[in-house]
Amino acid sequence: MEQRTHRAIESMTRTDSELLQAAQNGNRMAINELLERHQARVYRFGMRMCGAEEDAKDILQETLLAAARSVQGFRGASSVATWRYAIARSFCIKKHRTSKFAPQVESLDDANGRVMEVADGGRGPEDVVSGLQVQSALSSAIQSLDPMYREVLVLRDVEGLSAAEVGEVMGLTEEAVKSRLHRARLAVRERMSPLLGVQEPASRPAGSPCPDVVALFSKRLEGEISADVCQELEEHLRHCRRCASRCDSLRASLRLCRQAGDEVVPVRVERSVKSALRRFLESPP
């Protein structure tokens, strides 16, 4: 019992690089520990990209088995994170190509094309943001994106990769990643803003026209605008409630994306995938 506890503690304290080195030295337990550490992220990616639990389970299992088979050939030119997402992405693409039907996406619109209001007016903004209905609406908003925009949003804002790492996974320049990311963020904010409890004045203030503050704010998060432009943006937001509310809704949308990264693998899926991985690891080398 003490020996198993010691091994468990040792596993938790070892870095990905240490586990990878042990795995490449033939330690199959290290392979198992490394892949189990990353399974939740791969599953979430599969869910966000395919929208169905069964597809996400297939992607998770295929990704872990492919990673186990190719671990000896991984030379560390990229991080373990980008390696796993690159493998998972290849299976997502294959899944989309072989699927007879596009995944069914629950719409946020009613029969008349209006955005459904699911927020409870009696609850505060923080309660609304944490609501299960809003989380479901976020999933639908992400699923509604074109796959090339959905990928960058999921990898950057849900899974927390840097723009450079996202580019490495997708084979894009960092500039191309950021361009797609801004469009994806704006689209998700547009669909989510009625649900976030952030009141946006209907009319513009008198005076000079407002800049595209939402796009600028997204670029600011990626370090793409100068200090002078940042200062001008902050000054404008202090005096324009409409633009400040629009930026607040973007902040709330991104906070929801980060919270979506806490999703766990369902027990049923985890058991099935672990069983397949165990059979592979127990088979003769």
121-149 tens-digit pLDDT? 444 455 544 567 888 889 899 999 999 99
End-to-end CA distance of the chain: 29
Neighbours of 251 (CB within 10 A): 15
CA distance 151 to 46: 10
Question: In the predicted model, is pLDDT for residue 114 greater than 50?
Answer: no
> Is 161 contained in some domain?
no
**Whole-number pLDDT of residue 126:** 52
Q: Is residue 142 part of a domain?
A: no
Residue 107 has pLDDT above 80, yes or no: no
DSSP element (H, E) containing 33: helix 28-50
> Is 222 inside a domain boundary?
no
Q: What is the DSSP string of 63-101?
A: HHHHHHHHGGG--SSS-HHHHHHHHHHHHHHHHHHH-SS
Read off the CATH number of the domain in which 281 is found. 1.10.1740.10
In a domain, 81, yes or no: yes
- Domain assignment present for residue 77? The answer is yes
Per-residue model confidence (pLDDT) at position 8: 45
What pLDDT is attached to residue 150? 95
User: Is residue 138 within 8 Å of 145, Cβ to Cβ?
Assistant: no
Q: What is the pLDDT of residues 63-80, one digit of tens each?
A: 999 999 998 888 777 888
How confident is the model at residue 141, as a pLDDT?
93
Query: What is the structure's pLDDT at 204?
Result: 62
Range of the domain at 44: 1-105+265-285
Question: What pLDDT band is residue 254 in, cutting at 50, 70 and 90?
Answer: very high
Number of structural domains in the chain: 1
Q: Decide if pLDDT at 111 tops 50.
A: no
pLDDT value of position 132 = 74
Q: Residue 100: what pLDDT?
A: 47
Asked if the structure places residue 204 within a domain, the reply is no
Cα-based torsion angle of the residue sequence 40, 45, 50, 51 in order, rounded to the nearest 10 degrees: 60
Q: Please choose, from the candidates 17, 159, 65, 70, the residue with its C-alpha nearest in 3D space to the C-alpha of residue 170.
A: 159
CB atoms within 10 A of CB 177: 25
- Any domain includes 224: no
Instruction: Please report the pLDDT score of residue 4 as a whole number.
Output: 45
Radius of gyration of the chain (CA): 22
Task: Please state which of the ranges 7-16, 30-39, 172-181 shows the lowest mean pLDDT.
Answer: 7-16
Distance between CA atoms of 198 and 245, rounded to whole angstroms? 6
Whether 64 is covered by a domain: the verdict is yes
Half-sphere exposure of 117 (CA within 13 A, CB side): 4
Mean pLDDT of 5-12: 48
Report the alpha-carbon distance of residue 167 to residue 74 in Å, rounded: 19
